[in-house]
């Protein structure tokens, strides 16, 4: 009402000149705000807003853009630290949000015995500690317990002080052997039939002596994210009828980086496979698979945790039909064994695991039930509001394309709203 009264007061001026002058003074702040908004919007405009107009604004735009870095450098100190996937002027950061660690520059012309292995016994020792829950990490918090007639599934999560969230799962498949599961997870040619996120997989190098492989994966991400590229080193160790299957991201100088798909550097996904008792009759006809997985996809970790929790069971349920189809495929005498499946059968003997058990004693990691810990801390109904806040944040941020200032403010405000529920 104050603006209306001021406007009516201007119209009551005795002369037209006074009225025009007062109107100009009244409208000046608005026009200044419009001009500033247009200039800032032009500097940070998204790619889809690019109009095909043959007007030369290059000189003026370059003058404006040249003055922005100082502003952005001062602003970067205030943006939320969770935005690891945004860099100056909305360009996706090619590095992970973790501090860069020195990595050996492997020669990838051939994977033979004379060159360092991309996956070695230190990786085996690390996986063994994870299996034995003696890696010294934080406690695992249970987040899921589901089952079907052919499988049972449990999942845990933990948040280390440095790095993305880590996941641990235990799946027991009925009527399956460890050898079948080993080949199934390694068979990239067949994986495309049940893993709808895998766009392309190709073997870059392989070692026929140790079974070590270097592969490239291109995986499909949701519409608001670009596809991701993975350069994965993998190898299998055998201890009796137990298999340690290790896959992790490795450097690759022979595969240059590209803007799209974006490469994921920090990636770890490894299985421990062995026979297990069947729920049906107690015989050792089932197969237990322990999976340990973490990666930095270039998405804020809180949003990634929410997405993984919501989509985890749907993705896990697709594995069992894929396994049954693979069993039928392998049972057919006419079906040839794929190259990647044949490489899965070249295993290294894990002869020193007994000494690892002694060396890792006394450093246990506990498993905590999710419901018993969260019920004491979180009031009921908080999850729904948090989903709405984070989901709205994703939609709004992706609609506004890649501007750093806009996204930083959006995610910062959303994070504060989401954290308010913890203090209530």
The closest alpha carbon to 118, from 54, 34, 207, 4, belongs to 207
Nearest CA among 170, 174, 194 for reference residue 184: 194
336 has a pLDDT exceeding 50? yes
**The pLDDT of residue 391:** 56
- The mean of the pLDDT values for the chain is 74
What whole-number distance in Å separates Cα of residue 145 and Cα of residue 294?
20
Cα–Cα–Cα angle for 194, 196, 199, rounded to 5 degrees: 115
Beta partners for 290?
170, 272
Asked if residue 103 belongs to a domain, the reply is no
| Residue 266 binned pLDDT confidence (cut-offs 50, 70, 90) | very high
Instruction: Give the Cα separation of 132 and 365 in Å (integer).
Output: 9
pLDDT at residue 62 tops 70: no
How many structural domains does the chain have?
2
Mean pLDDT of 175-204: 94
Given this model, what pLDDT does residue 17 score?
77
pLDDT at position 158: 95
211: in domain: yes
**pLDDT over threshold 90, residue 38:** no
Which tokens go with 350? 């894990």
Give the CATH number for residue 167. Answer: 3.30.530.20
| 179 and 253 assigned to the same domain | yes
**Residue 101, SS3?**
coil
**Cα dihedral 394, 396, 400, 403 sign:** negative
| Size of the chain, expressed as the number of residues it contains | 424
Residue 316 lies in a domain: yes
Please report which residue ranges of 132-261 form alpha helices under DSSP H: 178-186, 188-191
User: Residues 6 or more apart from 97 whose CB is under 8 A from it?
Assistant: 84, 85, 296
Q: With respect to residue 241, please indicate whether it lies within any of the assigned structural domains.
A: yes
Question: Do 43 and 145 sit in the same domain of this protein?
Answer: no
Q: Residue 413: helix, strand or coil by DSSP?
A: helix
Residue 15's domain spans which residues?
A: 2-66
- State if pTM tops 0.85: no
């Amino acid at each position: 009402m104050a603006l209306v009264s001021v406007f009516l007061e201007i119209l009551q001026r005795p002369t037209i000149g006074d009225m025009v002058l007062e109107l100009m003074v009244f409208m000046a702040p608005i026009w200044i705000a419009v001009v500033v908004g247009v200039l800032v919007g032009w500097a940070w405009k998204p790619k889809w807003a690019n109009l095909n107009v043959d007007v030369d604004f290059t000189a003026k735009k370059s003058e404006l853009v040249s003055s922005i870095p100082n502003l952005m450098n001062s602003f970067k100190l205030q943006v939320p630290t969770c935005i690891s996937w945004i860099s100056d002027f909305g360009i996706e950061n090619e590095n992970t949000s973790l501090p860069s660690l020195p990595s050996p520059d492997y020669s990838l012309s051939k994977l033979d015995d004379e060159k360092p292995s991309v996956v070695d016994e230190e990786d085996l020792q690390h996986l063994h500690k994870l299996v034995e829950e003696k890696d010294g990490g934080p406690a695992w918090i249970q987040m899921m317990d589901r089952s079907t007639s052919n499988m049972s599934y449990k999942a845990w999560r933990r948040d280390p002080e440095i790095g993305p969230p880590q996941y641990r799962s235990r799946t027991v498949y009925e009527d399956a052997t460890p050898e079948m599961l080993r080949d199934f997870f390694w068979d990239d040619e067949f994986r495309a039939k049940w893993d709808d996120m895998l766009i392309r997989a190709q073997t870059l190098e392989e070692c026929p002596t140790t079974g070590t492989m270097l592969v490239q994966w291109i995986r499909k991400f949701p519409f608001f994210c670009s596809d991701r590229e993975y350069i994965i080193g993998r190898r299998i160790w055998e201890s009796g009828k137990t298999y340690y299957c290790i896959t992790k991201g490795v450097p690759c100088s022979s595969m240059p980086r590209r803007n799209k798909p974006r490469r994921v550097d920090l990636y770890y996904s490894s299985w421990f496979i062995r026979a297990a008792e069947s729920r049906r009759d107690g015989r050792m006809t089932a197969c237990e698979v322990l999976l340990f997985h973490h990666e930095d996809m270039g998405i804020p970790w809180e949003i990634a945790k929410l997405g993984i929790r919501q989509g985890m069971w749907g993705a896990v349920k697709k594995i069992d039909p894929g396994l049954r189809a693979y069993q039928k495929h392998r049972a057919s005498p006419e079906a040839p064994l794929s190259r990647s499946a044949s490489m899965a059968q070249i295993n290294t003997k894990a002869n020193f695991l007994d000494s690892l058990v002694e060396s890792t004693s006394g450093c246990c990691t506990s498993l905590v039930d999710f419901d018993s810990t969260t019920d004491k801390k979180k009031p009921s109904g908080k999850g729904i509001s948090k989903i709405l806040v984070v989901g709205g944040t994703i939609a709004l941020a992706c609609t506004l394309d890649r501007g750093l200032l806009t996204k930083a403010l959006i995610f910062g405000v959303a994070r504060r709203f989401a954290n308010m529920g913890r203090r209530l």
